[in-house]
């Protein structure tokens, strides 16, 4: 498909004449790439049922220097969640399920920590982040890649995750329940989630280059690779490939292909040249865009906002009086965003191959301001300053820990403490071993081998683990526990840096000592 560019894009909003030029989009994207050290970005703008701008910037691979274009595939990660909700919506349209059916009707082995919650948990609950579990609870079963957990493990092990709030009482974002939602799609449809979504969503929308996971991408010649800033500079890292995550975050697509999905959303489930074909009913579309779980009103500055909520696979808020429907997605080294303004028939797509969320926000906010006729301080400058402040604060916190470790280890005659050697077990994460290496103590996860590193003493029974894989950016506290008699009985963990990705949910682990 030929890239479409308008030298000037116009929209009348009441008496406001909003405009943005291709040159202005080019300018904000290139400044964003430089400010946040992003190798490659793809941007799409949908207006009134048409893709009016689709363009790539920079490179898709820092090693090969290949260019990004409008057909370059990116992992859109949690933008996938809306497709899982739509797949279930189609099954609702077909009267094969209802949104408020109990999950145990379809997955009898599904079990939450509380028996009442298990019995009452609905398909709607799978999609609305109101389970009572904490932010990212259990994500260490899917993150980082390289583990050997399965979807069946997710269904079985979620029962061991303790809630942090009442059932349906508050919003806490999760991934595991969307994986389980994918299992409901498979159970009801008789197809895998991947096959169902490709056949019933992607094929009708002519998303010909897209796939529901990396392993299902047919043509890999034009694909972006993930990049991560490390202590040694920006690095290309292996992409996430485990299919366990697919129903929550598996989709690979380009801005051109994704625009077909965006247009169908803006047209309330219809598609095709004359919008006469139906992907899902208007009733189902309205249900997906209806507020289901209230969210804290934060993260919307500098805009005026009166509400924020999660629907079914979409985040909903008002931006200066206009409904905004959006979602973001993030995997190691690749983050993306979709922003829709249905009243304006406007869609904004930003895909990046580095993990700075500030980068896509700077671009989408600039385009958004132009269409809404708003004027704000330069988003690139503002977000760069905000990020620098947060990184400085986080660096100070982590530096304090590692400075204490260094001081301890420089004391004359220091030897690594060994009282904690042995095997430990967590009910959902499995076993880890703490063993003695050459002048060091090793921390080794049995089921997630990338979580292997060295254990260092901080003070008392407080240690810190430094992972061998420095691209993880997720070093963690380790707090050993003793009983009333002083006997070592286990340990808990927590991220060291406040900027650690929430999917490293070390705080949900509770290890018991198994052997010496």
Residue 451 lies in domain: 422-515
326 and 453 assigned to the same domain: no
349 and 431 assigned to the same domain: no
CA 303 – CA 148 distance, rounded (Å): 43
> pLDDT digits over 221-244, tens only?
999 999 999 888 899 999 999 999
- Residue 193's pLDDT is what? 98
431 and 357 assigned to the same domain: no
227 and 303 assigned to the same domain: yes
Using DSSP's 3-state secondary structure scheme, residue 354 falls into strand
197 and 273 assigned to the same domain: yes
Any domain includes 53: yes
How many structural domains are present in the chain? Answer: 2
Cα 340 to Cα 214, 262, 324, 350, distances in angstroms: 26, 8, 6, 12
CA 364 – CA 338 distance, rounded (Å): 9
pTM of the model: 0.93
Any domain includes 355: yes
Cβ neighbourhood burial of 204 (10 Å; 0-12, 13-18, 19+): middle
Query: Distance of alpha carbon 136 from its chain centroid, rounded?
Result: 10
DSSP character at residue 68: P
Any domain includes 162: no
Any domain includes 2: no
364: domain CATH number? 3.40.710.10
Any domain includes 150: no
Any domain includes 152: no
250 and 368 assigned to the same domain: yes
Q: Which mean pLDDT values do the consecutive 10-residue runs of the chain (516 residues) have?
A: 38 48 96 97 97 97 97 98 98 98 97 97 98 97 95 95 97 98 98 98 97 97 95 91 96 98 98 93 98 90 92 96 96 96 97 95 97 94 95 96 95 87 97 94 97 96 96 96 96 97 97 91
Out of 314, 346, 376, a domain closes at 376
- Residue 1's pLDDT is what? 38
- Residue 13's pLDDT is what? 35
């Amino acid at each position: 498909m030929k890239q479409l560019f308008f030298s000037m894009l116009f929209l009348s909003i009441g008496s406001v004449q909003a405009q943005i030029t291709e040159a202005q989009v080019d300018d904000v994207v290139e400044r964003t790439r430089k400010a946040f050290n992003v190798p490659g970005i793809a941007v799409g703008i949908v207006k009134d049922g048409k893709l009016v701008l689709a363009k790539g910037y920079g490179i898709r691979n820092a090693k090969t220097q290949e260019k990004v274009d409008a057909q370059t595939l990116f992992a859109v990660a949690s933008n996938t969640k809306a497709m899982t909700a739509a797949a279930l919506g189609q099954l609702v349209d077909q009267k094969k399920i209802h949104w408020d059916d109990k999950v145990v009707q379809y997955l009898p082995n599904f079990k939450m920590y509380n028996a009442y919650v298990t019995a009452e948990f609905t398909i709607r609950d799978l999609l609305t982040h109101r389970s009572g579990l904490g932010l990212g609870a259990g994500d260490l079963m899917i993150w980082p890649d390289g583990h050997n957990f399965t979807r069946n493990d997710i269904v079985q092990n979620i029962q061991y995750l303790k809630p942090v709030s009442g059932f349906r009482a508050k919003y806490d974002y999760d991934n595991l329940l969307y994986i389980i939602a994918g299992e409901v799609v498979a159970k009801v449809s008789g197809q895998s989630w991947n096959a169902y979504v490709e056949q019933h969503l992607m094929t009708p929308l002519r998303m010909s280059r897209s796939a529901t996971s990396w392993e299902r991408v047919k043509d890999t010649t034009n694909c972006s690779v993930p990049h991560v800033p490390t202590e040694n500079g920006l690095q290309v890292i292996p992409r996430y490939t485990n299919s366990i995550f697919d129903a929550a975050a598996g989709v690979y697509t380009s801005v051109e292909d994704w625009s077909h999905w965006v247009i169908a959303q803006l047209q309330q489930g219809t598609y095709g040249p004359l919008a006469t074909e139906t992907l899902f009913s208007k009733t189902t579309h309205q249900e997906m865009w209806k507020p289901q779980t209230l969210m804290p009103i934060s993260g919307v500055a500098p805009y005026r906002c009166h509400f924020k909520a999660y629907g079914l696979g979409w985040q909903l808020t008002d931006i200066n009086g206009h409904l905004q429907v959006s979602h973001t997605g993030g995997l190691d080294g690749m983050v993306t965003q979709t922003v829709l303004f249905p009243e304006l028939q406007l869609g904004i797509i930003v895909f990046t191959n580095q993990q700075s969320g500030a980068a896509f926000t700077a671009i989408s906010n600039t385009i958004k301001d132009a269409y809404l006729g708003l004027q704000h301080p330069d988003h690139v400058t503002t977000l760069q300053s905000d990020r620098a402040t947060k990184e400085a604060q986080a660096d100070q916190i982590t530096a304090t820990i590692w400075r204490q470790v260094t001081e301890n280890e420089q004391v004359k005659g220091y030897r690594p403490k060994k009282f904690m050697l042995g095997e430990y077990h967590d009910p959902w994460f499995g076993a880890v071993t703490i063993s003695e290496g050459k002048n060091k103590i090793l921390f080794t996860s049995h089921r997630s081998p990338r979580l292997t590193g060295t254990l260092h003493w901080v003070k008392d029974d407080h240690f810190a683990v430094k992972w061998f894989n420095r691209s993880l950016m997720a070093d963690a506290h380790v707090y050993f526990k003793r009983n009333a008699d002083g006997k070592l009985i286990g340990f808990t963990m927590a991220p060291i840096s406040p900027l650690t990705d929430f999917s490293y949910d070390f705080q949900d682990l509770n290890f018991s000592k198994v052997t010496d």
